[in-house]
Amino acid sequence: MKNKAAKKAAKSSPSPAGEVIHIGLDSKVRSQAVKLLSAILADQHVLYAKTRNFHWNLTGHRFHTLHEFFEKQYDELALAIDKTAERIRMLGHASPGSMKEFLANSTLKEVPGALVNGDEAIAALRDDHEAAAREVRKAVDTLDEAGDAGTADFLTDLLQSHEQSAWMLRSFLD
């Protein structure tokens, strides 16, 4: 009986945001998920900024096609960013929100604003989507093992989005 009460108390303990959460995950699993989601959110922001940068500073004969394609990609990233931040909030934590936090937690590197030709931009974005997919895949495996099916499922959709973006970018280079 004691173990049941302790388990129930752990699953309904207040979150760092002060909310009492009863979703079947203890605070340690939620915190682990938030740490992984925060790093993914940071990568999303860096990738978003890089995609916008290339959209603005693109040069070359495929300008119009790639300009529109990059706009579609950063619009999709903006939606994913919002969903990721909201998932962090669902788990009872405050979402990181500053560029300082994003840059400190991102595995991706930003690039300064400069003119860029299409092939360079495509290759850089392809590499970043592939790197993001690898990080998301690791997070899915970790959270699956921890029993957080909701976050693992959310991240599986995000993983497929990165894989699709990388494939589309690779197609431009063939």
pLDDT tens digits, one per residue of 98-139: 999 999 999 999 999 999 999 999 999 999 999 999 999 999
> For residue range 34-77, what is the model confidence (pLDDT) as tens digits?
999 999 999 999 999 999 999 999 999 999 999 999 999 999 99
pLDDT band for 13, please (50, 70, 90 cuts). Answer: low
Through-space distance between the first and last CA atoms of the chain, rounded to whole angstroms: 63
What are the residue ranges of helices labelled H in 91-148? 99-105, 118-146
Res 8 pLDDT > 60: no
Residues near 34 by beta carbon (within 8 Å), at least 6 away in sequence: 88, 91, 93
Structure-block tokens of residue 120: 């360079």
Average the pLDDT over 71-88 and give the result.
98
pLDDT band for 22, please (50, 70, 90 cuts). Answer: confident
Residue pair 15/30 in contact (Cβ under 8 Å)? The answer is yes
As a whole number of angstroms, the distance between CA 141 and CA 84 comes to 17
With b for 16 or more beta-carbon neighbours within 10 A and e for fewer, the 131-148 pattern comes to: bbbebbeebbebbeebeb
Residues near 2 by beta carbon (within 8 Å), at least 6 away in sequence: none
pLDDT score for 57 = 98
pLDDT score for 18 = 67
As a whole number of angstroms, the distance between CA 1 and CA 22 comes to 19
Q: Which residue has the tokens 């970043």?
A: 128
Domains and CATH numbers, the chain: 25-173 (1.20.1260.10)
As a whole number of angstroms, the distance between CA 33 and CA 147 comes to 10
> For residue range 144-167, what is the model confidence (pLDDT) as tens digits?
999 999 999 999 999 999 999 999
Average the pLDDT over 9-27 and give the result.
70
